[in-house]
């Protein structure tokens, strides 16, 4: 039954200040009991999301996929993976979400597809020099027998970025480029047919009521066609893929044209009830001014704030990062975004509880080396400290102007599952790294909804989730936290309700207060003050009525605590 769209959807500027909830479909809610989350499971839980107080849902890939990379290996861009449901289930989900006033964004994966995509299979069968091969990045190998890859590039998942194929006549043949796993061949965006194919994909979903797309690796589609080698990374023995090493497959000039083409398609829906459709780019570029070029007029709407995602837990770094983010976005008239977790990184409750919590920032940007998840995963975790900081980090994020992203389970204070046994790991990084990097499964463990033992209401009793849930998760379930004053979930609910109801939190302004160097304090709309104590000593609670606090406050605000006050 189609649901009547909620009147909330009349706001076509929603994307400038929304709170968006990321659903990783395999791990959210399993309606059919096969151990994997599904679309009916998501539909059943939309009421929970509406009550939580978010404005939109972003669903990670739901397309048919061999699931080599959790759905980021797409075999058909215009259908739903049978393990997740059907196109009818997707239509119902979108309708029901709209009925509750929730926007729906899905994932566009334009850099690569699955090696099972029919067009890639046709390219393999058609042989070198064929029009079919032009859709992908095929090259002859180097050396007299072509047995050396065309460049020294290393894949982001480990090993070479090139895979040699066996030609239809049975001989070893050309190589194709894959930025990620070999099962994820890169599209050749130098071919106009690839651009046309994605135009159709956008329209297919926009016509079905999807409000926007998160664009996977939005800075990678164009290649420097001269294919230069990159600086050798001694740790891998391959050419570096690190952006700071100037690699020829990131942020090349052709990327802008692709974004502008998509923007025109999204804008062509301006007269529809849902309004123009929107994009958020997954692209980490430094410095932030460069990142902001992605959201300049006529290009994309928003872009994920990876500086925020990786920023260490310190007043100085957070303040520099926030100031720089806001200035760079104000310059191009785009809203900033804020994000502390997603399906690729260590959950904030665990990361903020480590001896090193992220990257340091000063007034000129990031200081020192850009370290990634695996470097942090190896450090010991103090979960209680991390949870306290994650609560404060949530209040800080939700007090900032712009768009905030919540990764599923963040509102429950779930930690990273750091002790998954090797035999259950599914992230391709585990295999490709020769079992040296555990990868991202620890933040993808299925959510606990209710009950005292696995599957904790993720699926019906007796079902076995695709990744094992810890025995300690009963107290973190939605049911266990609902209505419990001070629980992580109730803190999020209250913060979201206040953010919606309080006009002071709706504008684009932010004014810093002068404070102790270990404290961040700023005002919004001249009426709400957010203060975060990053230091190791309590600080005096300023005057005003406390609206919300991440921990008990009295005459003082304890360490690792955030408070919202009226001014
Ligand atoms: C970024 C996605 O967030 C990640 O999960 C995926 O593995 C890569 N892009 C490749 O699509």
Q: Is 282 a catalytic residue?
A: yes
From residue 248, give the alpha-carbon distance in Å to each of 152, 188, 240, 244, 461: 12, 14, 10, 11, 50
For residue 230, CA distances in Å to 95, 174, 244, 378, 397 come to 47, 21, 11, 28, 37
Q: How much distance in Å is there from the Cα of 344 to the middle of ligand 1?
A: 7
Give the pLDDT confidence of 337-394 residue by residue, as tens digits. Answer: 999 999 999 999 999 999 999 999 999 999 998 888 888 889 999 999 999 999 999 9
Expressed in angstroms and rounded, the spacing between residue 559 Cα and the centre of ligand 1 is: 35
Q: What is the dihedral of CA 450, 454, 459, 462, to 10 degrees?
A: -120
Q: Is the CB of 441 under 6 A from ligand 1?
A: no
pLDDT surpasses 80 at 244? no
Looking at ligand 1, which residue's alpha carbon is closest to its atom 8? 72
Best residue among 59, 72, 105 to mutate for probing ligand 1, ranked by most atoms within 8 Å of CB = 72
Does residue 109 have its Cβ closer than 6 Å to ligand 1?
yes
Protein residue with its CA nearest to atom 11 in ligand 1: 72
Cβ neighbours of residue 313 closer than 8 Å, sequence gap 6 or more? 352, 357, 358, 389, 393, 534, 560
219 CB under 6 A from ligand 1? no
For ligand 1, the distance from its centroid to the CA atom of residue 450, given in whole angstroms, is 30
Q: Please give the distance, rounded to the nearest whole angstrom, from the Cα atom of residue 52 to the centre of ligand 1.
A: 27
Of ligand 1's listed atoms, the one at least distance from the Cα of 111 is: 11
Please, which pLDDT band fits residue 179 given cuts at 50, 70 and 90?
very high
What is the whole-number distance in angstroms between the Cα of residue 73 and the centre of ligand 1?
9
To the nearest whole percent, how much of the chain has pLDDT over 70? Answer: 100
Instruction: Clarify whether 216 is annotated catalytic.
Output: yes
Counting from 1 in the atom list of ligand 1, the atom nearest the Cα of 180 is: 10
Catalytic residue among 92, 107, 186, 282: 282
Residue 454, both tokens: 């696995």
**Helix/strand/coil (H/E/C) assignment for every residue in 343-393:** CCCCCHHHHCCCCCCCEEEECCEEECCCCCHHHHHCCCCCHHHHHHHHHHH
Residue of 61, 69, 70 with the most ligand 1 atoms within 8 Å of its CB, for mutation: 69
CA 164 – ligand 1 centroid, Å: 23
pLDDT of residue 381: 97
Q: Does the beta carbon of 69 lie inside 6 Å of ligand 1?
A: yes
CA of 290 to the centre of ligand 1 (A): 21
Average pLDDT for residues 322-332, to the nearest whole number? 98
Cis peptide, bond prior to residue 287, ω within 30 of zero: yes
Phi and psi torsions of 349, nearest 5° = -55, -35
Going from the Cα of 216 to the center of ligand 1, the distance in angstroms, rounded, reads: 6
Q: Which two tokens stand for residue 361?
A: 């920032």
Does ligand 1 come within 6 angstroms of the Cβ of 498? Answer: no
At 14-58, the pLDDT tens digits run 999 999 999 999 999 999 999 999 999 999 999 999 999 999 999
**239 has which bridge partners?**
153, 232
In the beta sheet, which residues pair with residue 521? 531
Neighbours of 483 (CB within 10 A): 10
Cα 43-344-298 angle, rounded to 5 deg: 80
Closest C-alpha to ligand 1, atom 10: 72
217 CB near ligand 1 (under 6 Å)? yes
DSSP-derived secondary structure for 301-328: SEE--HHHHHB-S-HHHHHHHHHHHHHH
For residue 476, give the nearest of 497, 445, 499, 438 by alpha carbon: 445
Q: How far is the CA of 407 from the centre of ligand 1 (A)?
A: 15
Question: What angle in degrees, to the nearest 10, is found between the helix axes of 192-207 and 254-267?
Answer: 30
With 0-12 / 13-18 / 19 or more C-beta atoms within 10 angstroms meaning exposed / middle / buried, residue 516 is: middle
Atom of ligand 1 nearest to the CA of 69: 7
In short, whether 427's Cβ falls inside 6 Å of ligand 1 is no
List the one residue out of 136, 117, 127, 133 whose CA is nearest residue 179: 136
CA-nearest residue for atom 5, ligand 1, is 344
* Percentage of the chain exceeding pLDDT 90: 95
Residue 72 alpha carbon to ligand 1 centre in Å: 6
In order, the DSSP letters of 464-495 are --SSPPPGGGGGGSHHHHTT-TT-HHHHHHHH
Give 76: exposed, middle or buried? Use CB within 10 Å, 0-12, 13-18, 19+: middle
Are residues 83 and 36 in contact, defined by beta-carbon separation less than 8 angstroms? yes
Q: Which of the following is catalytic: 216, 251, 427, 437?
A: 216
**Best mutation site among 74, 185, 217 for ligand 1, i.e. most ligand atoms within 8 A of its Cβ?**
217
In this predicted model, what pLDDT tens digit does every residue of 397-424 receive, in sequence order?
Answer: 999 999 999 999 999 999 999 999 999 9
Nearest CA to ligand 1 atom 2: 216
Is pLDDT of 2 > 70? no
Alpha helices in 214-287 (DSSP H): 254-267
Q: How far apart are CA 409 and CA 449, in angstroms?
A: 10
Query: In this structure, how many other beta carbons lie within 10 angstroms of the beta carbon of residue 463?
Result: 17
> What does the pLDDT look like over 87-131, one tens digit per residue?
999 999 999 999 999 999 999 999 999 999 999 999 999 999 999
Q: Tell me the two tokens of residue 473.
A: 């998760």
Q: Whose CA is nearest to atom 6 of ligand 1?
A: 72
pLDDT value at 450 more than 60: yes
What is the model's pLDDT at position 369?
86
Residue in 261, 142, 97 with CA at minimum distance from that of residue 195: 261
CB of 344 within 6 A of ligand 1: the answer is: yes
pLDDT confidence of residue 359: 96
pLDDT band per the 50, 70, 90 thresholds, residue 1: very low
Cβ–Cβ under 8 Å, residues 222 and 290: no
* Index of the ligand 1 atom closest to the CA of residue 428: 7
Residue with tokens 């803190």: 491
Is the minimum distance from the CB of 186 to ligand 1 under 6 angstroms? no
In whole angstroms, give the CA distance from residue 43 to residue 94. 9
Residue closest by Cα to atom 3 of ligand 1: 344
Q: Whose CA is nearest to atom 4 of ligand 1?
A: 344
């Amino acid at each position: 039954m189609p649901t009547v769209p909620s009147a909330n959807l009349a706001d076509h500027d929603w994307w400038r200040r929304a709170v968006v909830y990321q659903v990783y479909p395999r791990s959210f809610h399993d309606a059919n009991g096969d151990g994997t989350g599904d679309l009916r499971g998501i539909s059943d839980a939309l009421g929970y999301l509406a009550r939580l107080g978010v404005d939109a849902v972003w669903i990670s890939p739901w397309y048919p996929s061999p699931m080599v990379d959790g759905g980021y290996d797409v075999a058909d861009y215009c259908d739903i993976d049978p393990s997740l449901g059907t196109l009818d289930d997707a239509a119902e989900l979108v309708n029901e979400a709209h009925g509750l006033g929730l926007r729906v964004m899905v994932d566009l994966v334009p850099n690569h597809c699955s090696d099972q995509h029919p067009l890639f299979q046709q390219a393999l069968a058609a042989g070198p020099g064929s029009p079919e091969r032009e859709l992908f990045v095929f090259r002859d190998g180097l050396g007299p027998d072509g047995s050396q890859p065309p460049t020294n590039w290393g894949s982001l998942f480990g090993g070479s970025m090139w895979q040699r194929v066996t030609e239809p006549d049975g001989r070893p043949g050309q190589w194709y480029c894959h930025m990620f796993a070999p099962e994820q061949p890169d599209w050749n965006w130098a071919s106009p047919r690839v651009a046309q194919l994605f135009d159709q994909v956008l329209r297919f979903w926009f016509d079905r009521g999807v409000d926007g797309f998160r664009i996977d690796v939005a800075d990678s589609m164009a290649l420097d066609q001269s294919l230069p080698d990159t600086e050798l990374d001694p740790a891998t023995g391959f050419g570096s893929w690190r952006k700071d090493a100037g690699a020829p497959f990131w942020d090349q000039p052709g990327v802008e044209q692709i974004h502008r083409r998509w923007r025109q398609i999204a804008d062509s829906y301006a007269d529809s009830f849902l309004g123009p459709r929107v994009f958020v780019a997954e692209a980490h570029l430094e410095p932030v001014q460069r990142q902001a070029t992605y959201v300049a007029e006529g290009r994309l709407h928003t872009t994920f704030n990876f500086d925020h995602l990786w920023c260490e837990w310190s007043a100085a770094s957070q303040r520099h990062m926030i100031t720089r983010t806001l200035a760079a976005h104000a310059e191009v008239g785009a809203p900033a975004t804020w994000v502390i977790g997603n399906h690729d990184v260590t959950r904030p409750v665990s990361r903020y509880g480590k001896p090193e919590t992220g990257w340091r920032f000063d007034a000129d940007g990031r200081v020192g080396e850009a370290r990634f998840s695996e470097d942090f995963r190896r450090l010991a975790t103090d979960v209680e400290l991390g949870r306290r900081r994650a609560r404060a980090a949530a209040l800080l994020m939700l007090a900032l102007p712009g768009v905030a992203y919540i990764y599923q389970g963040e509102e429950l204070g779930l930690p990273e599952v750091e002790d998954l046994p090797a035999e259950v790991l599914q992230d391709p990084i585990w295999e490709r790294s020769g079992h040296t990097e555990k990868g991202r499964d620890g933040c993808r463990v299925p959510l606990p909804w209710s009950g005292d033992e696995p599957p904790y209401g993720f699926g019906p009793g007796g079902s076995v989730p695709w990744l094992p849930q810890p025995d300690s998760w009963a107290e973190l379930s939605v049911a266990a936290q609902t209505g419990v004053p001070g629980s992580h979930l109730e803190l999020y609910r209250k913060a979201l309700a206040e953010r919606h109801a309080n006009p002071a939190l709706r504008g684009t302004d932010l004014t810093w207060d002068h404070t102790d160097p270990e404290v961040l304090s700023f005002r919004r709309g001249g009426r709400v003050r957010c203060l975060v104590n990053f230091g190791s000593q309590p600080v005096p609670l300023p005057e005003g009525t406390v609206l919300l606090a991440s921990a008990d406050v009295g005459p003082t605000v304890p360490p690792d605590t955030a408070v919202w006050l009226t001014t």
